[in-house]
Each structure stands twice: as C-alpha cells, then as structure tokens.
C-alpha cells in the first residue's frame, strides 16, 4: 500500500468576505495550493471538498462539481464530504484513502464555507443541523448551549475553573496575532474574556469561535510522486470515529469517546504515542473543547486539562504547543474549511515555513477536527521523513 | 489490490412515508441489507451514506453520524457523500474505494432522502440546489425547465419524437407494476403521457420522476471475506466524472460528457464494452434523460436513442433490458437513495432473486446515476464470477 504525502497547501484569509462568493474562496485556496505544490490544474486527478451546509447558507448543493467547474478542473471526479464541522478533515481523509486505493496519484482536498452575507436562515439555526434535529434543535438547544452543558460537568467533576477556560482563548489570540490569515489578530486578557457578554452560562462571547467565511486546500500525492520532491510531509496515521448525535445518549460527558477512538487508531497507524507529537491543532470551537481535546488526545490526564493550560504548557515555546497559528478562536471557523486549514498549518510548521509563528524542531504534528458535539472525530498525524 | 463484492442488499418501499422519519428509513434499509448478507451490526467497519439535502428538507446535517447512532453502529467511521441526485452512487463508490485502500473489509453503503412531510422550502426549490445557484436557480430555472431545454435540442437535432419520450415512461411503468417496492405500480399508455399536464414544454407530468421518501443499502466486502460466500456479485468497474454545473457552459447539449467519461473508465476497468452489458439501471429523472443515457453509454448510436426505444429494444425480454424494476419514474426518486437502489436491483437481478421481474441469463449489469443536469455522472458495472 502506498504512503501518502501532502505536497502543497493554500488558504484564503479567514474573514467576513463581503465581496467573495463561496466558489471564489474555494478556487482561490486551490490555486494557492497548486502554486505551492508547483503543479497545474491538469495534474489534479480528483477533487474532494468538505462543506457543511452550503445548501442552507447559500442555496447551493452539488458543491464539488461546482468547485471543479469554477476552478477549470472538469471532468475529474469531484466529491463533497460532510460531517458538520468535521467536513474538512473528512474530505482530507477520503482523499488520502482514494490515493491509498490506487485510484489516483495526485488529489486536491479542500474545505470551504460561506457563513456571512447569506440569505435564508441564520447561521446559529443552520449550525444546529450538526446536532440532533428531533431531540436537540427542535426543543431550542443551540451549539453553545450544548457546550455550556459540557463545561458545567467538567467544572463540577474536575474543578476546572472559569479562568482556565479563559486561558484557552487568551493563548489562541496570542498566537493568532502573528497569523496574517487569521480573522482576529488582537491579544486579549483573561479579564477581557470574563467581562465579555454571557452567551450560554458559563460560556461568554470570547469563549466562542466566530462566524467566518474562508477556504483552504491541500494537494495529496502518492509515494511514487512525492518521493522525488524536497521536504514532503507524510500522513503517518489517520483515524475517524462516530458517537451518538444527541448528548443525552452518551454514557460519559467529560470526554469525547469518538476522539479517543480516532486518536488511538491514528497513533497505532503512526506507530507513536501522544508524547511524540511535537505540535497539535485541536478543535476549539468553544474554549471547553480545547481542554477536553488535550485530555482525550492523551497530552495530559483526564481532568487535568485546565491545569495543563494554566501551567503554560501549550504555549508556542512550551513542550506541547497547541493551536500555534490561533485555533478556531482567532483564525476563525468557516466550518467546512477548518479541518483542511489545520492540515495547512501543520504542513507549514513541518516545512518550517511559518516565519515568526514557527515552532522549533517540529517533526510530527496532529490535527483533531470535531463534528457537532463530538458525534464525529477525525485525527490525522503528519510527519517528516 | 483487493477485488470488492456486494454481499447484501436492502431497500425500503419507495413511497410517501408520512409515519417514518429519515432515520427510520435508513435504518430499515440497513437492517434489511445486513439480514440479506447474514451479518450483524458489529460486523460493519464503516458506514457511507448518500444524501442530497437533508439540511434543507428536514434541518438535519451530520447525517452519517446520525445514521450510525440510530442504527446502533457507533463508534464506526461514518461518512456522508453528496453530489445532488448522484449522492447514492457516490457513497457506493467511496465505500468501494475504502475497501480497495485496505482500510476495511466490510462496509455498508446507504442512500436516503425524506422529501415529503417536510417543513421549510419546497422540494422544487431545494432540488434546484443541484444546479448553479448564481446562474440558473437565481433567475427562476427549475430542474424540469433545464431538462426541457435538453429535450428541445434533442428533438430538433435528431428528430426524437414526443411519442418516443412517452415510451420511456410507458416501459418504466410496465416494469414497475411487478415491483412491490415501487411507488407507482400502474401501467400507463402513450396517450396517458401525452394528455398529462404540461410541466415545462415539451415535458409533461408523466415524463417526470416523482417526489419520494425512501432508503436503500448494500453491504460491500473485500475479496478475503467475499470469496468464501455463495454467489457474490463483484464490482467489475467504476467511473466518476464531472462537468460544468450550468448548462450554458457546455459545448454540447445533446449528450452528457461526464457520463461518457465515467462509462469509458468503468468499461476499461471491467475489460468489457457496452455490448457485453446484460441489463442496465439508468437515471430517468425525466424521460429525455433515459434516451440521452442509452446513447452516452454506447447502447446505441448518438441520436438513435428514441428509435431504439420505439423498436422495443429496452423491454424486459429484449436484447438490452433497461430499468427492469421500473426506473426512477415508477420506483420513485428519493434523490440520495436512487444510486444505491440501482445497485440493490442489479445485485438482485445478478443473483436471480427478482421473481416475476427476473431477466434471464444476467451476468453483467450497469448502473448510471446522474447529479444535476449532468455535472456529476457515476457508472458502476457489476458482474458474477
């Protein structure tokens, strides 16, 4: 079975793009990735795109064919993958498996979402399509509401503090200041978080990732193609798992079972454990989720995530730098694009292309992309030769 | 590279299901497929589901995790695939490639759509999400309108007659009478079609496939698992291609380039040509599309599709039986489910399980599933040992 490498990466600025449509954004990201890989459109054999809800946001399904069309890539096979906010990593994983199947040598995996300047239903209502329509959204639950429930339980069971939650956002904003593609490039303080408007008790505005437009793309290649290139980044392991859509069906709410299973699979495939991961991009849609993530990924013991962060052990200069380019909180969270954006940032860190954001001696990186309140989790581990 | 087989198939009745939700339908189809394969839920290693627009129809994205959850299959990886009305075949093809990649041995591929008893926007408006939102739906085009344009061109260029179009629906209804899972089990005459209400000139009501609820599922297995079973059905070839989303960007409107390219790939992989295909399930969303399909698949020369049908060469007892169980017109068209339903029907024909619908001496079968007005085409060829 062939190994698979990431040989190009591109990302639009994550922002409110009032003058760019979804097709403009995805094509821009794809062109940047092609340029980075030093390839042309005719070299691409298949396209995968992650998108959560263009049908509701902009009245457009059939997004993969549209993207191939707008980017001048027809008649290549074009596939849209969807798993709510994990749609990006899902597209990446399916592209990876397509190359492993022997069907293609060079594939583009993109992610895109247009969430502002839309008609129709609000983003809040559309995003709740990631939860259980019959048992959660129909009774008025919103996503921040679901995560507020998870926060309360974590605080009660492990003594996680309101300040520790704030430190997640503080760290992400500090990292994002240096990221020219981030939506919010401004440092914030713990006090700023604690004084920001309450959204769903105990989560406040600055605990929440924003509504964003954006796209990201990576080029994947088989070993046959990639081995002759300088400095390829290899996919060492990949895992995906599911869990109940509604929170009320889970037996445990202090962690995410799907993350643990997906991580175990990815670690096994990569032949390494969490102690060997140099940097990680994790899914901080709300501050609590970064704490849960670093526990479930095995970076610290269950329940000690808040303390781990309080001790400064996730900063860019620490032992386990997390969300080194700003995370969902600062970079922004165009839901279908985030999973690919994480791969873009890991690839650049592994290649040493991050300028002032660069972390030293990065040989392995892990990305965790989560859909809904944990019903989908996808973990990918990248590494150098 | 392992070969891949279909080892189980299940389908709900296609109908207006006022008392069953989308999750009920997909779980029912999956359970029937498992039963057919003589397997249990714990044997399934991954789930793929094709669905076009549950986000708009019922406010539910993240459908793969929901289906795994409702069917008791968590924590297996669960992936939704979308390419408008080709979502079913897309899920099937991705499941096939996942097994070829070596990642899994036994996978379920399902398709489901709930189109009646919905709130929110109408089915007609939602279905237009398969076309180009900026250039087609925004100016009022509907899908039947797009296909009416294709019909006019075909009639003008090749002399295809209104009566020949009607014969497509007549043949499909005749076949569907014997199908207990079909939505409409009633013979119709050419006169019935010609007298039915005009929808988009020259297409009338009985040229159009209906709005339907339903689900279908198949179990795929690697050669390692399948070779010990009686009577497995093998996937001999699979092809997928894209084309421009909007009709106005095509250089030719008398055929579908994506179909031709996908078919060529599938024929090449299977090592056979159209003359060796014993039966076919093609995408007759509107009567014209069956005529275009049999031409593009190479069953007859371009432009002679209408004549081919008029000469009775697609009936169940003819040389090239098409849509032997009723096609989209009679079986119904729950858009995300259709591509899998086609595979279910081919599998049953190949296994000789079709009772009064059975075609004699079926050794190979082809399925063509189309998204939008041809921006996605997927061709799969199945066969016996």
Q: Which residue, among A211, A184, A217, A182, has the nearest Cα to A57 in the 3D structure?
A: A211
Instruction: Give me A340's structure tokens.
Output: 């690919």
Report CB contact under 8 Å: B133, A60: yes
% of residues, chain B, pLDDT over 70: 100
Q: Give the whole-angstrom CA distance, residue B37 versus residue B31.
A: 10
- Looking at residue A231, what is its pLDDT? 83
The SS3 call for residue B284 is coil
Residue B1 has pLDDT above 80, yes or no: no
Chain A residues within an 8 Å CB radius of B57: none
Q: Give the whole-angstrom CA distance, residue A285 versus residue A327.
A: 9
CB contact at 8 A, A217 and A9: yes
Cβ burial, residue A228 (10 Å; 0-12/13-18/19+): exposed
| Confidence class for position A288, pLDDT limits 50, 70, 90 | very high
Q: Give the whole-angstrom CA distance, residue B367 versus residue B344.
A: 10
Residue A248 has pLDDT above 90, yes or no: yes
Among partner residues A53, A82, A243, which is closest to B74 by beta-carbon distance? A243
Q: How far is CA B258 from CA A44, B88, B300, in A?
A: 17, 17, 18
pLDDT single digits (tens) B53-99: 999 999 999 999 999 999 999 999 999 999 999 999 999 999 999 99
Instruction: Give me B350's structure tokens.
Output: 């190949």
What is the arithmetic mean of pLDDT over A139-156? 96
Which residues 249-288 of chain B have a CB within 8 Å of chain A?
Answer: 249, 257-258, 261
DSSP states along A227-278:
TTSSS-EEEEEEEEEE--SSGGG-S-SSS-HHHHHHHHHHHHHHT--GGG--
User: Scanning every residue of chain A, which has its alpha carbon at the shortest distance from the alpha carbon of B377?
Assistant: A77
**Helix residue ranges per DSSP H, A134-231:** 143-158, 162-176, 190-195, 223-226
| Confidence class for position A243, pLDDT limits 50, 70, 90 | very high
Task: Give this complex's ipTM.
Answer: 0.97
Q: What is the b/e burial string over B211-250, where b = at least 16 CB atoms within 10 angstroms of the residue's CB?
A: bbbbbbbbbbbbbebbeeeeebbbbbbbbbbbbbbbbeeb
| Confidence class for position A120, pLDDT limits 50, 70, 90 | low
Residue A385 has pLDDT above 90, yes or no: no
Residue B225 has pLDDT above 80, yes or no: yes
Place of tokens 């300088």: A230
Active site residues of B: 85, 333
Residue B120 has pLDDT above 70, yes or no: no
| Confidence class for position B36, pLDDT limits 50, 70, 90 | very high
User: Scanning every residue of chain A, which has its alpha carbon at the shortest distance from the alpha carbon of B46?
Assistant: A241
Whether chain A has a CB inside 8 Å of the CB on B27: the answer is no
Report CB contact under 8 Å: A83, B65: yes
**B50, B242, B377, best to mutate vs chain A, most A CBs in 10 Å:** B242
| Confidence class for position A1, pLDDT limits 50, 70, 90 | confident
What is the arithmetic mean of pLDDT over B264-286? 98
pLDDT single digits (tens) A48-83: 999 999 999 999 999 999 999 999 999 999 999 999
Angle between helices B335-351 and B87-100 (to 10 degrees): 60
Whether chain A has a CB inside 8 Å of the CB on B376: the answer is yes
Element (H, E) at B8: strand B4-11
Whether A208 is a known active-site residue: answer no
pLDDT single digits (tens) A329-370: 999 999 999 999 999 999 999 999 999 999 999 999 999 999
Residue B121 has pLDDT above 90, yes or no: no
Whether chain A has a CB inside 8 Å of the CB on B159: the answer is no
Chain A, chain B: beta-carbon pairs less than 8 Å apart:
202
Whether chain A has a CB inside 8 Å of the CB on B77: the answer is yes
Chain A residues within an 8 Å CB radius of B81: 79-82
- Looking at residue B118, what is its pLDDT? 84
Among partner residues A62, A98, A243, which is closest to B130 by beta-carbon distance? A62
Which residues 105-144 of chain B have a CB within 8 Å of chain A?
Answer: 125-126, 128-134, 137
Residue A105 has pLDDT above 70, yes or no: yes
Q: Which residue, among B53, B110, B112, B69, has the nearest Cα to A373 in the 3D structure?
A: B69
Residue B230 has pLDDT above 90, yes or no: no
Which value, in Å, is the radius of gyration of the alpha carbons in chain A? 19
User: Scanning every residue of chain B, which has its alpha carbon at the shortest distance from the alpha carbon of A52?
Assistant: B61
Whether A333 is a known active-site residue: answer yes
pLDDT single digits (tens) B146-166: 999 999 999 999 999 999 999
Mean pLDDT of chain A: 97
pLDDT single digits (tens) A28-49: 999 999 999 999 999 999 999 9
Instruction: Give me B56's structure tokens.
Output: 């708009």
Residue B245 has pLDDT above 70, yes or no: yes
Report CB contact under 8 Å: B249, A69: yes
Closest-CA distance of chain B to residue A201, Å: 26
Closest-CA distance of chain B to residue A376, Å: 7
Mean pLDDT of chain B: 97
Closest-CA distance of chain A to residue B348, Å: 27
User: Scanning every residue of chain B, which has its alpha carbon at the shortest distance from the alpha carbon of A99?
Assistant: B101
pLDDT single digits (tens) B161-186: 999 999 999 999 999 999 999 999 99
User: Scanning every residue of chain B, which has its alpha carbon at the shortest distance from the alpha carbon of A133?
Assistant: B60
> Any residues with CB less than 8 A from the CB of B49 and at least 6 apart, and which?
B26, B63, B64, B67, B78, B79, B80, B81, B91, B109, B110, B111, B112, B336
What is the arithmetic mean of pLDDT over B5-22? 97
Residue A119 has pLDDT above 80, yes or no: no
- Looking at residue B122, what is its pLDDT? 85
pLDDT single digits (tens) B304-316: 999 999 999 999 9
Q: Give the whole-angstrom CA distance, residue B156 versus residue A180.
A: 56
Closest-CA distance of chain A to residue B36, Å: 25
Report CB contact under 8 Å: B64, A376: yes
Q: Give the whole-angstrom CA distance, residue A23 versus residue B147.
A: 24
Q: Which residue, among A113, A156, A145, A163, has the nearest Cα to A328 in the 3D structure?
A: A113
Lowest mean pLDDT of A112-121, A151-160, A334-343, B370-379, name the range.
A112-121
Peptide bond into A202 cis (omega under 30): yes
Angle between helices A287-296 and A143-158 (to 10 degrees): 60
Peptide bond into A62 cis (omega under 30): no
Chain A residues within an 8 Å CB radius of B64: 82-83, 242, 376
Q: Give the whole-angstrom CA distance, residue B263 versus residue B277.
A: 12
Asked whether the CA dihedral B57, B61, B63, B69 is positive or negative, the reply is negative
pTM assigned to the model: 0.98
What is the arithmetic mean of pLDDT over A172-199? 98
Catalytic one of A81, A85, A208, A354: A85
Rounded to an integer, what is the distance from CA B35 to the centroid of its chain?
A: 22
- Looking at residue A325, what is its pLDDT? 97
Q: How far is CA B132 from CA A150, B55, B103, B144, B249, in A?
A: 40, 18, 35, 14, 11
% of residues, chain B, pLDDT over 90: 96
Closest-CA distance of chain B to residue A79, Å: 7
Report CB contact under 8 Å: A59, B133: yes
| Confidence class for position B352, pLDDT limits 50, 70, 90 | very high
Report CB contact under 8 Å: A129, B61: yes
Whether chain B has a CB inside 8 Å of the CB on A56: the answer is yes
């Amino acid at each position: 079975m062939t190994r698979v490498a990431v040989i190009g990466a591109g990302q639009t600025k994550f922002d409110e793009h009032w003058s760019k449509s979804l097709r403009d954004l995805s094509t821009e990201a794809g062109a940047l990735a092609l340029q980075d890989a030093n390839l042309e459109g005719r070299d691409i054999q298949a396209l995968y795109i992650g998108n959560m809800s263009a049908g509701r946001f902009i009245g457009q399904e059939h997004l993969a064919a549209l993207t191939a069309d707008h980017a001048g890539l027809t008649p290549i096979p074009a596939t849209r993958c969807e798993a709510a906010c994990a749609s990006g990593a899902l597209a990446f994983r399916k592209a990876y498996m397509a190359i492993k199947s022997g069907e293609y040598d060079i594939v583009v995996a993109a992610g895109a979402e247009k969430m502002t300047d839309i008609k129709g239903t609000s983003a809040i209502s559309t995003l709740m399509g990631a939860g259980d329509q019959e048992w959660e959204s129909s009774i008025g639950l919103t996503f921040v509401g679901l995560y507020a429930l998870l926060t309360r339980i974590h605080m009660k069971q492990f003594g996680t503090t309101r300040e520790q939650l704030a430190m997640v956002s503080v760290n992400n904003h500090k990292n994002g200041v240096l990221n020219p593609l981030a939506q919010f490039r401004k440092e914030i303080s713990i006090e700023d978080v604690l004084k920001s408007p309450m959204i769903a008790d105990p989560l406040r505005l600055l605990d929440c990732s924003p509504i964003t437009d954006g796209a990201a793309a990576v080029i994947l290649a088989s070993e046959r193609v990639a081995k002759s290139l300088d400095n390829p980044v290899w996919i060492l392991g990949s895992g995906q798992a599911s869990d109940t859509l509604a929170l009320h069906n889970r037996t445990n709410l202090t962690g995410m079972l799907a993350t643990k299973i997906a991580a175990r699979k990815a670690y096994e495939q990569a032949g390494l454990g969490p102690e060997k991961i140099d940097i990680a991009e994790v899914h901080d849609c709300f501050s609590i989720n970064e704490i849960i993530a670093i526990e479930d990924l095995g970076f610290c013991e269950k329940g000690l995530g808040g303390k781990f962060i309080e001790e400064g052990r996730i900063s860019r200069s620490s032992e386990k730098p997390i969300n080194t380019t700003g995370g969902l909180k600062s970079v922004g969270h165009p839901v279908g694009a985030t999973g690919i954006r994480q791969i873009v940032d890991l690839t650049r860190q592994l290649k040493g292309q991050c300028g002032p954001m660069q972390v030293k001696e990065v040989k392995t990186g892990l990305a965790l992309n989560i859909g809904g309140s944990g019903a989908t989790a996808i973990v990918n581990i990248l590494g150098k030769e």
